[in-house]
Amino acid sequence: MLSPLTVTALAAVSAVLCLTGPFGTLASLSLLPRAGYWATLTVSGYAIGSLISAAVLRPGKPLVQHLVRILIAGGLTGVAMTALVSVVNWPVFGSPPFGAETVALAGPTLVISVIVMAVIDLFSRKLSPTEAGMQDTPQAVLLLDRLPFDKRGPLVAISVEDHYVRVRTTKGEEMILMRLADAIREVGATPGAQVHRSHWAAFDQVAAVTRDGDRAVLQMTIGGDIPVSRRHIPTIKEAGLLPR
């Protein structure tokens, strides 16, 4: 609601409605009351529509099912907006809420709500990263925020030492008091995996791989080697570090 794009769009829509005065508001309301009336309905309508769309619309659904969800979300928004307009019109125009005028208002409001919901859905798809796009966008490596600035660089390996983890980057090493599982959750989109109960390795920092019976050893570009336990051999095979 507070993003500059949203605020600008809501202000523009409110201004257009205020100046054109649809539904008889141009003749029945002076400028300032008309501006307040349409600003209230525009902001409230957007908030209600956004909440309902977030609850009803789901990305990745088949087209027909998604269109049905848009109709449902638009219908729910239309019902909510009809009730809101009816209540707002009571003090503004003296029209008793939920009377004959509300019934007459319901049809256009439902149609407008469905159209607006379709536009919101279209804009959200265009302005927000898609599911595939989100996977392609590098995620923040939160673990690096725990390191001194001069040691922040591409991750190489993470190893357990007592209650600490040794975080190795291309710019150095640092001991951090945390669990390995928590450290792994903060590597973001860095390509790599846990290859031993005590070690995580970045696949793009592996210089060589040697077999050691039913285990393996990763020679890293920087620092010591990383052992690969037997249960994690399929992991490095999937990463292309060993033949399948």
d(CA 192, CA 200): 7
pLDDT for the residue 34: 93
pLDDT for the residue 58: 66
Domain limits, the chain: 4-135, 142-238
d(CA 41, CA 23): 13
**DSSP code for 124:** H
Buried b (16+ CB within 10 A) or exposed e, 172-198: bebeeeeebeebbebbeebebbbbbee
Find the Cα–Cα–Cα–Cα dihedral 169, 174, 178, 181, rounded to 10°: 20
pTM, entire model: 0.48
pLDDT for the residue 130: 42
pLDDT for the residue 125: 62
The length of the chain, given as a count of residues: 244
pLDDT for the residue 132: 39
**DSSP code for 58:** -
d(CA 66, CA 121): 10
C-alpha gyration radius of the chain: 29
Q: Where are the alpha helices (DSSP H) in 21-141?
A: 25-28, 31-56, 63-93, 100-127, 131-136
pLDDT for the residue 218: 96
CA distances from 156 to 136, 170, 190, 199, 213 (A): 21, 6, 10, 11, 24
We find that the CATH architecture of domain 142-238 is Beta Barrel (2.40)
Q: Nearest 5°: phi and psi at 102? A: -65, -40
**DSSP code for 2:** -
Q: From the first residue on, what is the mean pLDDT of each consecutive set of 10 residues in the chain (244 residues)?
A: 82 92 89 93 88 75 76 89 88 82 84 83 59 45 91 95 94 94 91 95 94 93 94 92 84
Q: Which two tokens stand for residue 210?
A: 């040697």
pLDDT for the residue 60: 57
